[in-house]
Amino acid sequence: MGVFDKLVFALGLKKREASVLVIGLDNSGKSTMLNHFKSEDQKSTEIVPTVGFNVEKFKARNVGFTAFDMSGQGRYRSLWEHYYHDCQGVIFVVDSSDKLRLVVAKDELDMFLQHPEIRTRRLPILFFANKMDVREAVSSVKVSAALGLERITNKPWHITASNAITGDGLHEGVEWLTNQIKENLNK
C-alpha cells in the first residue's frame, strides 16, 4: 500500500478529491519524492527534470488523489500560481545541500505566501528539508531558520528532514499533512 493510499484511507474520503501542490526549486527532489509514493509497478526508474509540470494521480477506494508536481526551473515557476486556487495542501521541497540557493527558495516562498490566493487561507504547508544524506546538507532547523518559517503564523506548517531516494522522513511528513487536510475537510 503506497503512502497516498494511506493518506486517502486516513482521510476517510468517500468519492472526494484532494489535491496537493508540490513546489520547490529545480533539482530539489520533488519528482523523486513523488516517485517514492507510487506503487511498485508505476515507479519510474529514471527521474528527469520535469518540464512544465506532471500530474500524478492515484486512485484508491473511489477517491482520486492528485499531486501537481511542478517544475522548479526558473522559467516554469510562474506556472505555480495557477494551481494555488485548487489545492488543499502544499508540499514545499528544499534541497538542504544547496546552501547557495536557500535565499532563492526563501524568495520563492515569500512570493508564494504573499500571493492573494494563499495569503488569507489556512492552507497546511509541509516542508521537506530534502537530501539530508548529502555531506554538505544543513539540518532542518537551519533550513527552517534560513526560510524564516517562524514568520508563518496563520497557517499550519511542519518541517522534516528527508531523503527522497530512500524515503526516510517522507512518511512522517505526509502523515502530518494528512491530519491537517482531514481537519480542514471536516470543518
Partner 1 sequence: MADNERWLTAHHDPLAALYTFSSCMALADLHGDGEAKLIIADLGTGAYNMKLKVYKGTNLMSENTLIDLPTGVITFHMDTTEPRVPAVAVASGSYIYIYKNLRPYFKFTLPTLEVNPAEFDAWGQARDDLLDVSMLYEILDSLRQEVGECGLTTRSQRFLMCPDHTSQTAFLDQHKGFILKRQTVVTCVSTLKKSHSEDDAISCLVLGTESANIFILDPEAFTILNSMSLPSVPVFLSVTGLYDVEYRIIVACRNGQIYTLKRGTKIGRPTAELTSQPVGLIRRDKTVIVATMDHHLHSFNNKGKRLWCIKLPGAVLCLECLELRTLSLTLVALALADNRVLIYRDKHLVDTIHTEDRVSAMRFGRFGREDNTLVLVLKGGGLVVKILKRTARFDIQDADGPSQGQVVKLNIPKKTKLFVDQTMRERENCVLMHRVFQHDLYRLRLSTARSYVQALETSSNPISLSQTEPLKLSAQVLGLGPTFKLRVELQNTSPSCPSLHLAVIFHCDDRVYSVNKSYIQIPILVPGIIHVAETLLTCVSELGISDTVRVFVVKGKSSRPLLTAVINMPVAEVFMAA
Ligand X SMILES: Nc1nc2c(ncn2[C@@H]2O[C@H](COP(=O)(O)OP(=O)(O)OP(=O)(O)O)[C@@H](O)[C@H]2O)c(=O)[nH]1
**Catalytic center residues:** 73
CB-count exposure of residue 133 (10 Å: 0-12, 13-18, 19+): middle
The mark string for 107-146 relative to ligand X (x by CB under 6 A, - otherwise) is: -----------------------xx-xx------------
Region near partner 1 per CB under 8 A, out of 12-20, 33-41, 102-110, 156-164: 102-110
Size of the site for partner 1 (CB under 8 A): 18
Binding site for ligand X (CB under 6 A): 24, 26-32, 47, 49-50, 71-73, 130-131, 133-134, 163-165
Binding site for partner 1 (CB under 8 A): 25-27, 74-75, 77, 98-104, 106-108, 111, 136
Known binding-site residues for Mg(2+) equal 31, 50
